Amino acid sequence: MVADVNGFSCNRGSGKTRLALDILAQQVLRAKHLQDTASMPRIVYVAVGKAPARVTQILQLLTQLDLLPYCTIVAADDRQPLIMQYLAPFAGCRIAESWLNEGVTKNAIVVYDDLSAHTMVGSQTYRKHQTLCCPARLSFSGHTNLMERSTQFSEKRGGTSLTSLVLADTPGKEDAASGKENILLRHAIYFGDMYPSLSRRFGFDTEPEDQEILDSRELVQEFFVQRPFHRLDEDAVLLGAFVLAHHHVLTRLPQKVSVWDAIHHVQRTLPDDLKARLDVCPRNECWSDALVDDLYSFVVSTIRAKYVRAP
């Protein structure tokens, strides 16, 4: 194993997590095959800003690949304070360094999943601290410091290594591929046409990501962050809450739709009878099942009529 900084920068759902864990599983299998306990890698998996359901899926995948006995998970999900999410990668790197210093292993690997979310966390933390009298100046050179802590010592100095494996989501829907020109492969692999999984549309195996949970979280963030500048009436807020409660109406569309565009469209096309029923409904009481069913049927039909094209 050669210590290095490697990474996968692709759009969400392209198989980064599965590919990274497959690489780690091969390293563990290789050490088992050689019966070399000294070179058995120890792994730190750092999950930053993930949904709790996604962290559970990663834990299950580690168990399936028999990596859990050799892996320590440092998870700061999206419900944790921003400072906890910001410090998670540094804590994971320090754990790996302590293994090397204490002789627990000669090969330590840190997986950062993902540093694009960590960048967003740092940006949000900086904006929060700007309101203080002495604003904190957070430096994103922290990523550089993390990568510079990757190392490969010579045999005279113990031969230990610390490898960083970085995952990052790219904006939009395009994959950003990058690689170094000095990558070497064994001839058997090269001539055997064995290539890694890159994209869902190519038909390869993908990571088991709960896409709908992540999409619904984006809708909620858009609802609160990208509110229109003009004053909103109460009906728009109520309809927005109803659409978010039934977020699958938007997340299962063939294309991405702005939540506020959908809300305004529903409000413009809302029938008078439904408007009247909403107006007389007390704000401190739950809606009746009949009103919920009728409003749901209308929202589904009007959104699909506008955003789903007939074949």
Topology (CATH level 3) of domain 5-208: Rossmann fold (3.40.50)
CA separation, residue 66 to residues 26, 34, 74, 194, 208 (Å): 11, 17, 18, 23, 17
- Average pLDDT rounded to a whole number, residues 56-65: 89
Name the percent of the chain lying above pLDDT 90: 9
Evaluate the omega torsion of the peptide bond into residue 36 and state whether it is cis, within 30 degrees of 0. Answer: no
How far is the C-alpha of 177 from the C-alpha of 192, rounded, in Å?
Answer: 22
Q: What is the mean pLDDT of residues 90-111?
A: 90
Query: Which residue is associated with the tokens 């963030």?
Result: 221
For residue 45, the cross-strand partners are: 73, 111
pLDDT 10s digits, 145-185: 787 888 888 888 888 889 888 887 765 544 444 444 444 44
Report pLDDT for 311.
55
The answer to whether residue 135 scores a pLDDT higher than 70 is no
